[in-house]
Structure 1
Amino acid sequence: MKRRDFIKYGSILGAATTVKAKSLEGWADLTNFDKKTVLSSNRFGMFEAVIQSGEVLETKAFKGDYFPSPMIKAAADRIQNQTRVEYPMVRKSFLKAKGPSNNHLRGKEEFVRVSWDVALDLTAKHMRDTFDKYGPESIYGECYWWGGSGRVSWGRTVSRRMMRILGGFVTESGDYSTGAGLVIMPHVLGGSSVYDTPTKWKSIIENAKNVVIWGCDPLLTNQITWSTPMHRCYKEYEKLQAAVFSGKIKAFSVDPRKNETQKYLDSEHIAVKPNTDVALMIGMAHYLYTKKLYDEKFIKKYTVGFNKFKKYLLGKEDGEEKDIKWASKICGVDEKTIAKFATTLAKERTVLLCGRALQRQDHGEQAHWMCTVLAAMLGHMGLPGGGIEFSLAYNSSGATDKLAPTITGISQSIPEKYNKKYPNAPWLKHHDVVIPSSRSIEAIQRPGEDLDQNGKKIKLPHIRLMYNASGSPLTRHHDVNNMIKQWKKVDTVITAEPYWTSTAKMSDIILPVATELERIDIDQTGGTKEYIIARKAHVKPKGESQSDFWICRELCKRWGYEEVFTEEKTELEWVKYIYEDAVQKAKTMNLKMPSFEKFWEKGYVRFEEDDTSTQNYTRYTEFRENPYKHRLGTPSGKIEIYSPVIAKFNYDDCKGHPMWIEPIEWLGDKEKTKKYPMHIISPHSKYRLHSQLNNTFIRGLYEIGGREPLVINHKEAKKRGLKTGDIARIFNDRGEILVGVYVSDIVIDDVAVVCEGAWYSPEKLGDKTLCQHGNVNVLTIDKGTSKLAQSNIAHTALVQIEKYKGELKPINAFTKPKIIQSL
């Protein structure tokens, strides 16, 4: 996609986005003739909002955004949206009993509108009572990463701070995005790798000859960041495209489909079957070794354990040689292509961009481990622009940094001074209970049982209360039908949320949350740190919505610890404190910043000077220069192709070196494919952030028949009598969904693509019924990657697809539940 085409796409969105908002009562300071343009930001970028009479009429890109995402156009619709939770609510049976009652009626019975005092009193009481009776293991409060944003009132941070003041809660190690990588890579490279600072694109474009984009789609995923994106990396993509088109760089895309980045770069497409990347890499490694194309000096100097891995390659461990013929049968890439691919990468400097999708599959640890082995054999690690990257495809990474201070945020931890003031406080007597990322439903299902992870035995907690903020587990988590079944075992479900998501509808207490334009905060742009942004409450919160900070403060107040939560600061005072801290950091860097008052009035401060000291950064340069002085964090100080630590765990599903292990479901399983012959993958959508924005007008631009699209090629569509525009049913033993068909040969045979994030819309909420809207996690498997990481395997699932001939029932994902005013 050319930049002008992307901008054209954005202007099309702009034409469709003059959203007429409903009247906001009580915004008395404005008249019908008042109109202003204000600045704000969210995870899609900085933007200007046109506000009249307290209503957001439209949003447009901030002039400083190099490559603005069209998704910012939905900011108005996010505020004035039919799915907003406007008032505190309590499920009817729960309110009547003043506690847990008729959990099986979640999602089915009415909600009762209550005052904030009633909702907060109930919430505080049941959190306190549950904790006092059962301890931290009874309160689940992971509160996921992506909902909302900001440094003061981000729901995840303040909710976890609140629950630490309560005394602790069940939290998760790692995350759904990188869970397997976060566990395996410290054993292999001595650090997380997946979140480490990546090589700069400037270094890659100037020095690399081959860029391999393996299981990722940077052009799509870099639209959003943890904080506020300015999309500087897209300027680097233009330079990369020019280098590719001129023949200076060869680009490859290894993926079951032709993704946005592949199309933009016109990369050579290595069409691999889902979940077989490790077999392809192992076949390449065998070829490199037997053809003497690998860097033997690098292997000897910078790695340990190659000889043990070599025995596996040559079949001396199991009697099966892992040559390209072996690999081709598994991964579907022909032998000549594998040989040519491996030779090309070995001959000239190569950088491998390995995506998170590779480790979100059964035995996902093996993919990141084997990527590293392949990179080591190529020998380009630490050379300018070469080696391997696990984080370059995300968070607007790789552009030149600006000389700027990094702002802090309100902490999840409790300040030391309050430990002295409250010597008998609950947070001093207890601690959090940590489980692996994505294992929460397994804990509800198997409380008290042991779970292996990374050499330890973890006792699964008995979760009795869930506090949800910043996300919708019923959209995010896998095997939704099992989740709903287990959900009924939890005594109390509390959700702080701006929208009537499926999770909100399946809760007992709902606390309405204000969005970014409705509250005060501060943020900094991700990637380059170019801007610090003032976020003001430009419009009145919808209904009686409040910030997460306010909600958590009120709960702590009811427990007698309000000052511990606030540190005696208001939200605005926290913003000023964070800004003043940045001012002090800037002074140490010889940078001048305006006063807080001037910053707040203007809406931002910009740092324009490039950080020339990092613009040519390449990861592992120092390690390559002196591996003894700059040891890695592994036990050996080197790259561990073989890990004695992992080997001692004696796991049957993660041995001492990377290897091919058949997934629980894949296209090579002859028995399972008789019933379910298609492999379904669920990449990110370019039209939303996970499930965010699915409730806005944007879904009308891509949905087919009001449903999430299914991409399937002509051959597979013909088998099933499908054509673009049809409605299809996708199903397996775990569930069934309806989707709108889009026929395209961008995807290989036997593979179906349905993007993750569609709002869950069953015929009957709370029961195992057909999802009318196409939430792919109805079909995915809730299983840990292996005993090592126990992360999720979202991309491992077999299905069948057929043309839907039944009655199309209304989609209820975006309708509010029945609400009554009193009991």
Structure 2
Amino acid sequence: MLPQPERQTLATHWGTYRVRTEAGRPVALDPFEADPDPSPIASAMLEARTAPARILRPAVRRSFLERGHAAGGQGRGGEPFVEIGWDEALALVAGELDRVRSHHGNGAIYGGSYGWASAGRFHHAQSQVHRFLNTIGGYTRSVQNYSFAAADTILPHVIGDRRGLASGHTPWRLLAGHAELIVMFGGASPKNAQVSSGGLSRHALREGILACRDNGAELVSISPIRDDTALEAGAQWWAPRPQSDVALMLGLCHTLLSEGLHDRDFLGRCTTGFDKVEAYLTGAADGTPKTADWAGALCEIPAEEIRALARRMAAKRTFIMMSWSLQRADHGEQPYWMAITLAAMLGQIGLPGGGFGFGYGSVNGVGNAAQEITWPSLPQGENAVADFIPVARIADMLLDPGGAYDFNGERRNYPDIKLIYWAGGNPFHHHQDLNRLVQAWQRPQTIIVHEPWWTATARHADIVLPVTTQLERNDIVCANRDLMLAASHKAVEPAGEARDDYAIFSGLAARLGVEEAFTEGRDEESWLRQLYGLARQRIAAANLDIPDFDSFWRQGVTLLPEPEMVKPLLADFRNDPQAHRLATPSGLIELFSERIAGFGYADCLGHAAWLPSQEWLGAPAAERFPLHLISNQPVTKLHSQYDHGSHARDSKVAGREPVRMNPRDAANRGLKDGDIVRIFNDRGACLAGLRLSDALRTGVVQLSTGAWFDPLEPGRPGTLDKHGNPNVLTPDRGTSRLGQGPSAHSCLVEIEAYRGRLPEITSHAPPAIVPTSVEKPE
């Protein structure tokens, strides 16, 4: 039996909290005492547990219950549900899985999930669903993630691996006191750094940035949004047109080259392909010199300012930061490749305070000095199905089974998916062009979803199984970027008939004859002790020690010391490029890649290049839709989690998500603060509440993601979203044939006042639950 904790702890993606109770019931979550900048997101967790949107019993779409998969998918999203018992629900799910794998093969099952469902190592929905599907013969999977798919693909071609993207960064303590100039493309947003996948104990971005400032670093934030960097950092704000960053960097590089400020020694020792880059910069390759004047015209930044910044970057120890957001756009591979090219020309890669890094401020913990420990997680087993898709190509897969597509040098074909099993995550939040996704979602025969709440994904399912929240189960959190292990204690019994994912999959495994393979004879406590034991072994191998499990469970939080020795990114390679060869074909930083050039992709050449987006303020499409939409991460929630909580609802305008706009753009349209507006383009339209702010450059509007999809006519593509979900507007196209990542930020819109009667917000209430008397199919 698990020992009684000294005080219940809750560890989440947005912080660690002590549970305050009254009469044995949780009433508040107090931030962990060592956190200097706690997030308020947790305030929604207690109320949301029993909110109207909570799913309390298994439910089945009415026509599916009556006719099975023969019902088709046309009613998904708009049809009532029927509640049933757990035995009937598990039998129904097991029967569908058995039917599809018997008639179509396991490759016809798509195992959808996303890693933000839980911070725990055991109740991690993605691991649970993949372990289960592997146990029954495998499934079609996805690769990459929505956060940095294009970067995930390009970096191994350029530097051999993904260091400096999600891990392996130059730590803050080698930036503060060493960096004299930090140039932040996309800023370093404190709202994004509220969260970290896998949990956290300390919110560290603010103190990291301020430590750099206090140690004399000059900060430059390059973003169309001023408060993408904490205002107290005092950064100089440059506001170029969105998606002109590559042009700006090319102008900087041309100045370095033309004024002899580039480091030819570093380029010769540590890179390959600079001759091709030089020909591109000078215009010898294409007839267009990439001068500061050329760049300034595209960016709307004065050329002399670009030249002056290039000179300052060459004269100082300079660090180039770039947010993950820049690569979620057309040709999203290019800004990352270009940033590395710029850093290589400066020649400071591998030095304290110099070089480059991606994602500082995109999530908390990037830049922490972390121990090199691989934390254990629930084993997923082996997938007998080799097929996969890039994560953001799900609608393409469903709409074009068998269709051919390019990805990272391969010519592949989309599988024919008959059943989707989704546990953890909300594709009707993450994915772009939701009207297209609604259409695609009608194609599979069966959709099964695990969810605590009636999100759009649950509403568009055939079978919905209610699962517990983090408050309702025990788990262990090993913070990936933080030096913490935390016991996440069960604080309250599950609402309604909710069950853990593990209990659901164990029940299904028993019905399908693979219970022992799935559970290995372990219950929740046995798995927690097993995972903690593995963590303890790995920590001991690093000459560190942590308490035994029972002591850890009682105390709630165990912190590890920072490593004594830390290095800048690529320091060993810089010092000896031959002894520490990179995993690129040349062993060097590839400013020109023969491999990528050999793919023959017109949308991703052999070197970083200016490839204008289909939708940006310099495109012909801007004549019809003259506003560039930035659909960034929200401040009041994690993605769409807890949108129905009071913390998120308090930020809304008449129940709609707020959209920010420059006052001059509003005045040109006769709009005022607090108006309800219609945002539209050829893909769709949504309502939002207008907030005016001079923190945005003109021509740019900001509508953060996370409002639960709430179409006026559920189940029908193309109807007005009442709530302010920007993904009814964003394009569903790959970044390039190389990366196939999401291009959400390449989005042009127009805004007008909404004059009609305001429709009611219904996404935070359950769908219609009805009885049925129709006999169910055999």
Q: TM-score range by the shorter chain?
A: over 0.9
Partner of 2:522: 569
Instruction: After TM superposition, list the pairs within 5 Å mapping 1:147-162 onto structure 2.
Output: 147-162=117-132
Contact 2:324 2:362 in 1 (8 A): no
Give the Cα separation in 1 of the matches to 2:367 and 2:603: 38
Partner of 1:217: 188
Contact 1:207 1:385 in 2 (8 A): yes
Partner of 1:725: 674
Give the Cα separation in 2 of the matches to 1:453 and 1:491: 27
Partner of 1:228: 199
- Which of 692, 712, 735 is the aligned partner of 1:763? 712
CA drift of 1:165 comes to 1.4
Inter-CA distance 150–85: structure 2 relative to 1 (3 Å threshold): same
- Which of 421, 439, 461 is the aligned partner of 1:467? 421
Q: Could you tell which deviates more after superposition, 315-324 or 48-57?
A: 48-57
Partner of 1:524: 478
Partner of 1:785: 735
Give the Cα separation in 2 of the matches to 1:202 and 1:312: 37
Give the Cα separation in 2 of the matches to 1:585 and 1:681: 42
- Which of 92, 95, 114 is the aligned partner of 2:84? 114
Contact 2:6 2:555 in 1 (8 A): no
Report the number of matched residues.
Answer: 767
CA drift of 1:578 comes to 1.2
Give the Cα separation in 1 of the matches to 2:242 and 2:586: 33
Partner of 1:513: 467
Partner of 1:5: none
After superposition, what is the alpha-carbon deviation per residue over 1:226-245, rounded to whole angstroms, capped at 9, x for unaligned?
Answer: 111122524xx336425526
Instruction: After TM superposition, list the pairs within 5 Å mapping 1:271-670 onto structure 2.
Output: 271-397=239-365, 401=369, 407-414=375-382, 430-529=384-483, 531-607=484-560, 609-614=561-566, 617-670=567-620
After superposition, what is the alpha-carbon deviation per residue over 1:12-43, rounded to whole angstroms, capped at 9, x for unaligned?
Answer: xxxxxxxxxxxxxxxxxxxxxxx996211111
Contact 2:11 2:119 in 1 (8 A): no
Inter-CA distance 148–78: structure 2 relative to 1 (3 Å threshold): farther
The residue type equivalent to 2:625 in the other structure is Y
Give the Cα separation in 2 of the matches to 1:251 and 1:280: 17
After superposition, what is the alpha-carbon deviation per residue over 1:388-424, rounded to whole angstroms, capped at 9, x for unaligned?
Answer: 001433443256547696541111115xxxxxxxxxx
Give the Cα separation in 2 of the matches to 1:81 and 1:189: 48
What secondary structure is seen at the aligned counterpart in 2 of 1:819?
coil
Partner of 1:422: none
After superposition, what is the alpha-carbon deviation per residue over 1:323-368, rounded to whole angstroms, capped at 9, x for unaligned?
Answer: 1111111111111221111111111011111111111000111111
CA drift of 1:775 comes to 0.2
What secondary structure is seen at the aligned counterpart in 1 of 2:176?
helix
Give the Cα separation in 2 of the matches to 1:776 and 1:317: 39
Q: Could you tell which deviates more after superposition, 704-713 or 253-262?
A: 253-262
Identity of aligned residues (%): 35
Partner of 1:146: 116
Partner of 2:776: none
CA drift of 1:506 comes to 1.0
The residue type equivalent to 1:269 in the other structure is W
Give the Cα separation in 2 of the matches to 1:41 and 1:755: 25
| Structure 1 alignment gaps of length 5 or more | 1-34, 415-426
Give the Cα separation in 1 of the matches to 2:442 and 2:738: 29
Q: 1:754 aligned to 2:717?
A: no
Give the Cα separation in 2 of the matches to 1:641 and 1:407: 34
Q: Could you tell which deviates more after superposition, 79-88 or 387-396?
A: 387-396
The residue type equivalent to 2:654 in the other structure is G
- Which of 620, 628, 634 is the aligned partner of 1:685? 634
Contact 1:223 1:231 in 2 (8 A): no
Give the Cα separation in 1 of the matches to 2:542 and 2:285: 56
Give the Cα separation in 2 of the matches to 1:80 and 1:36: 26
| TM-score between the two structures when normalised by the length of structure 2 | 0.96
After superposition, what is the alpha-carbon deviation per residue over 1:308-334, rounded to whole angstroms, capped at 9, x for unaligned?
Answer: 111111112221111111111111111
CA drift of 1:65 comes to 2.2
Partner of 2:8: 38
Partner of 2:761: 811
Contact 1:484 1:766 in 2 (8 A): yes
Partner of 1:128: 98
After superposition, what is the alpha-carbon deviation per residue over 1:232-279, rounded to whole angstroms, capped at 9, x for unaligned?
Answer: 524xx3364255267x11001011111242423121111111111111
Contact 1:54 1:540 in 2 (8 A): no
The residue type equivalent to 2:451 in the other structure is E
After superposition, what is the alpha-carbon deviation per residue over 1:717-742, rounded to whole angstroms, capped at 9, x for unaligned?
Answer: 00111111111110001000111111
Give the Cα separation in 2 of the matches to 1:538 and 1:294: 59
Partner of 1:94: 64
CA drift of 1:590 comes to 4.2
The residue type equivalent to 1:392 in the other structure is Y
Contact 2:359 2:366 in 1 (8 A): no
Give the Cα separation in 2 of the matches to 1:113 and 1:400: 47
Give the Cα separation in 2 of the matches to 1:724 and 1:318: 47
| Structure 2 alignment gaps of length 5 or more | 774-778
What secondary structure is seen at the aligned counterpart in 2 of 1:118?
helix
CA drift of 1:810 comes to 0.1
Give the Cα separation in 2 of the matches to 1:748 and 1:636: 42
Q: Could you tell which deviates more after superposition, 144-153 or 771-780?
A: 144-153
Please provide the CA RMSD for this pair. 1.8
Give the Cα separation in 2 of the matches to 1:445 and 1:239: 46
